[in-house]
Amino acid sequence: MSFHLTEEQVEIRALAREFAEGELRPYAPEWDAQRTVDPEIFLKLGELGFMGMRVPEEFGGLGFDLITYLLVLEELAWGDAGVALGVAIHSGPVTGLLVKHGSTEQKDRYLPRLATGEIVGAFALSEPEAGSDARSLTTSWQQNGDERSLSGRKKWVTNGARSGLIVLFAREGAEGRISAFLLDPDLHTYQVGKREITMGLSASETVELLFDEMPLEDGALLGDEGAGFTYAMEALEVGRLGIAAQATGITRAAYEHARDYAEERVQFGRKLSEFQATRFKLAEMTTRIAGARALTFSAAAALDGKADPESLSAGSLAAMAKLTASEAAVWTADEAVQIFGGYGYMRHYPVERLLRDAKGTEIYEGTNEIMKLVIARESVGASTSVKA
């Protein structure tokens, strides 16, 4: 399937590329080394509307369709994959769930501020003992008379330390149904745990959140009580496309570095780009980029309701896109290091950072093994042993 981009989409992509070239890529090595990021970065993105890509126009956002949104994410990831991860979580699962299931009051309160980047969204599903098996989460709320309180621990929450709005999943008591809640640091008191030292994606902050009988008012419930797990799975379908686009941005960056280096570096009196071994690697990189994009856009069209009725479901396509794009990113960044040879292994050169960044895309928003479970459920049939 080929996709025709509109003139407007091409212009938006160019704007995102300009931002990535000017505001992200030059600083990415320093952010990686210092484990930091420009504290104004989300506000700068907000000025261009890129924090409100999935916020409807009536709430101050740009209301982009999925393909336009993913085009921008790919560019941001090309500039800095950690910043792109923060934008993807903010826009996909968080904004997406609020738009779909939030009350009018919740939307009025949060969407305009999410759109400007004044507040950044976070998604708290994973726990120390509940990752792939998210349904087994134990963070819970208790009703004591008129009061409701929340206790538990959430792990690896991207944007968690700076977030102004956290979508959190918790069950009722020890074995009750899972619901989704909106947590606001202005209204709720919880502890932000230590920031994780990650392998890559250093511009993105990953933290633990701890809750000890935190009062939870009725207005914090998002959508229907007991529908939380369904919402989480729904949010992850869009979320996985965001990660696919992020992975493709990393792949493109690694490919371009490798291509340019192969044109410069001379060994045995010839440029590396003249050796067939190098040419084949570069050819495979571009093929993987094209393949990942095609799957990502097919899944985006399906999730936007434009599915080919004979194709697989949007959920399977999204899982395929994430699987393909993340594997392309890891493979390409690895081969880019190889093309750079000894220089590639040095921190001074960009490709080893891209390899460390790429690895994350195979893990979060569902590991690639879980992607295969999702795909197999449709293509092979339900498994009796695993309910992922």
The residues that are catalytic are: 365
User: Is residue 89 a contact point for ligand FAD (CB under 6 A)?
Assistant: yes
Output the smallest distance, CB 234 to ligand FAD, in A.
14
Among the listed residues 102, 131, 164, 315, the single contact to ligand FAD using CB under 6 A = 131
Q: Which stretch binds ligand FAD (CB under 6 A): 26-34, 320-328, 335-343, 360-368?
A: 360-368
Site string for ligand FAD, 96-125 (x = CB under 6 A): ---------------------------xxx
Q: Is 217 left (phi over 0), alpha (psi -120 to 50) or beta?
A: beta
Among the listed residues 226, 273, 367, 376, the single contact to ligand FAD using CB under 6 A = 367
Q: Over the Cα atoms of the chain, what is R_g?
A: 21
Of residues 205, 168, 174, the one with CA closest to residue 190: 168
User: Is residue 360 a contact point for ligand FAD (CB under 6 A)?
Assistant: yes
Contact by Cβ (8 Å): 169, 124: yes
| Nearer to ligand FAD (CB atom), residue 34 or residue 267 | 34
Output the smallest distance, CB 274 to ligand FAD, in A.
39
The identity of residue 117, as a single letter, is G
| Nearer to ligand FAD (CB atom), residue 149 or residue 198 | 198
User: Is residue 227 a contact point for ligand FAD (CB under 6 A)?
Assistant: no
Pair of tokens at residue 386: 């695993």
The identity of residue 336, as a single letter, is A
Among the listed residues 6, 266, 386, 387, the single contact to ligand FAD using CB under 6 A = 386
Q: What are the CA-CA distances from residue 261 to residues 250, 266, 352 (Å)?
A: 17, 10, 14
Size of the site for ligand FAD (CB under 6 A): 24
| Angle between helix 314-340 and 276-303 (nearest 10) | 160
Q: Which stretch binds ligand FAD (CB under 6 A): 6-14, 38-46, 330-338, 363-371?
A: 363-371
Is 182 strand, coil or helix?
A: strand
Of residues 315, 259, 324, the one with CA closest to residue 295: 324
Output the smallest distance, CB 338 to ligand FAD, in A.
24
| Nearer to ligand FAD (CB atom), residue 246 or residue 278 | 246
The identity of residue 326, as a single letter, is S
| Nearer to ligand FAD (CB atom), residue 223 or residue 242 | 242
CA distance 371 to 374: 5
Among the listed residues 231, 364, 375, 377, the single contact to ligand FAD using CB under 6 A = 364
User: Is residue 31 a contact point for ligand FAD (CB under 6 A)?
Assistant: no
CA distance 209 to 158: 11
Pair of tokens at residue 6: 């509109």
User: Is residue 250 a contact point for ligand FAD (CB under 6 A)?
Assistant: no
- Please provide the distance, in angstroms rounded to a whole number, between the alpha carbons at the two ends of the chain: 30
Output the smallest distance, CB 383 to ligand FAD, in A.
9
**What residues between 149 and 178 interact with ligand FAD by CB under 6 A?**
156-158
Q: Which residues of 289-311 are buried (b: 16+ CB within 10 A; e: fewer)?
A: beebbebbbbbbbbbeeebeeee
Of residues 261, 268, 281, 372, the one with CA closest to residue 331: 281
| Nearer to ligand FAD (CB atom), residue 102 or residue 160 | 160
Q: Shortest Cβ contact with ligand FAD: which residue? A: 131
Pair of tokens at residue 336: 């880019």
| Angle between helix 276-303 and 66-79 (nearest 10) | 140
The residues of the shown chain that bind ligand FAD, judged by CB under 6 A, are: 89, 123-126, 131-132, 156-158, 198, 201, 206, 360, 363-367, 369-370, 373, 386, 388
